Amino acid sequence: MKPVAIILAALPLFAQSVATYDSSRAVKLTGVVTRIEWANPHAFLFVNARDTRWAVELGNPIALEHDGWTRNSLHVGDSVNVEGIAARDSTTRVFGKSVILTKTGKKLFTPIPRRAIALAKEPAPRWPDGQVRLGPAPGKKGYWGAASGNALVDNTARKVAMNEEGLLRNLAEVDRVAPFQPWAKAVYEYRQRTLLKDDPLTRCLPPGGPRQFQMPNGFQFVEQRDLGRILLLLGGGNRNWRVIFTDGRPQGQADEVVRSYYGNSVGHWEKDTLVVDVIGFNEHFWFANGGLPHTEALHLTERFTRPDLGTLRYEVTVDDPRTYTRPWTGGWNVPWVPNEEMQEYFCEENVEATLSGKGSYK
């Protein structure tokens, strides 16, 4: 009998930011919807209640639509009851845990139970020459979904507990995350203590490095074997893409490569594993959830292995001698999302601006 893995064909919602919301401050509102903003990374409702205009943050629109909700599930003028948690800055902003349409009592924007898809542990698809395919088999659809790991951690350490955003449950465990140099440890602790408030991702900067594989909207490979390259299309981070050259060219010289968010990638196959060497990163981003620092000296060795149809093993060795005392390795598994195409995602920073009334978002 074949072993069978059960996965739910649903994208996870973005977790509400702990830097923005205080889970200890519950808010209940009853009011009228005046506006619906169906934008990434979070949809918003605007509700007039208690003589005030409230902004109610919901899940990610891609995930909501995946669950069957649309901007038309609710209309301007509808009366709603909202339960949520308040923003830390005491503005009239709420993360909506529950939205109920007053006239019917229907609960909106919650995950709708969906039929689980039984994904047999089938063998990975292969090219005619036997090489593993990283994409779907011919005539099939699918892409790689959300990573099994929330944060990148040195795999020589015991399990380190973190939340979905990479915040340590216990800050005293910081030394087990990675072999930090003293400055890097201090920066990491600062970012953790300040609840990741300065995360460049919240300003819609690209998630370079391993973080591109921690985004909730997934990614897919397009193998252009005749051109000697693999395109990596990223579902999160503004629909970015990356090229992995597999034509045998040597890696560039670190001092000559133009610095970028995704770096300069050259790859080769070692049996069924794609090994990718990446250098040439800039310092404008955090390369993993939780705020791990790096410098331009960052050198990654990524290993992508597909042991079966439904699993991609991602392993990365981090070598940045200006930041860490030794190279270290971490990784996670990524599940295959069958029979679907990756959705469009763009980060729209100015949703934040519209809440403050200072931005140009219309």
Partner 1 sequence: MACLAIYLPIFAQQGHPLTGTWSGTWGTTPAQRNQVTIVMNWDGKNVTGLINPGPDSIPLSSVSVDYSRWTVHIEANGKDRIVAEGKLEDLGSYHRTITGTWAQGTTKADFKVTRD
Contact residues for partner 1, defined by CB under 8 A: 181-183, 185-187, 190-191, 194, 197-198, 200, 282-286, 293-297, 321-323
Q: Please, what is the minimum distance in Å from the beta carbon of residue 225 to partner 1?
A: 36
Cβ proximity to partner 1, 188 vs 314, nearer residue: 188
CA distance 292 to 276: 21
Minimum CB distance to partner 1, residue 360 (Å): 14
Least distance between partner 1 and beta carbon 199 (Å)? 9
Nearer to partner 1, 46 or 180 (CB): 180
What the block records as the tokens of 106 is: 């229907």
User: Measured from the CB atom, is 181 or 350 closer to partner 1?
Assistant: 181
- Minimum gap (Å) between residue 282 Cβ and partner 1: 8
Find the shortest distance in angstroms from Cβ 357 to partner 1: 22
If the CB atoms of residues 5 and 205 are measured against partner 1, the closer one turns out to be 205
Closest CB to partner 1 among residues 127, 190: 190
User: Which residue number, 143 or 286, has a Cβ lying nearer to partner 1?
Assistant: 286
Q: How far from 53 is each of 81, 93, 106, 121, 136, CA to CA, in Å?
A: 14, 9, 23, 51, 47
Tell the smallest beta-carbon distance from residue 161 to partner 1 (Å).
24
Taking the complex as a whole, how short is the minimal distance between the CB of residue 259 and partner 1, in angstroms? 10
Of 139 and 182, CB closest to partner 1: 182
Question: Cα 354 to chain center, whole Å?
Answer: 24
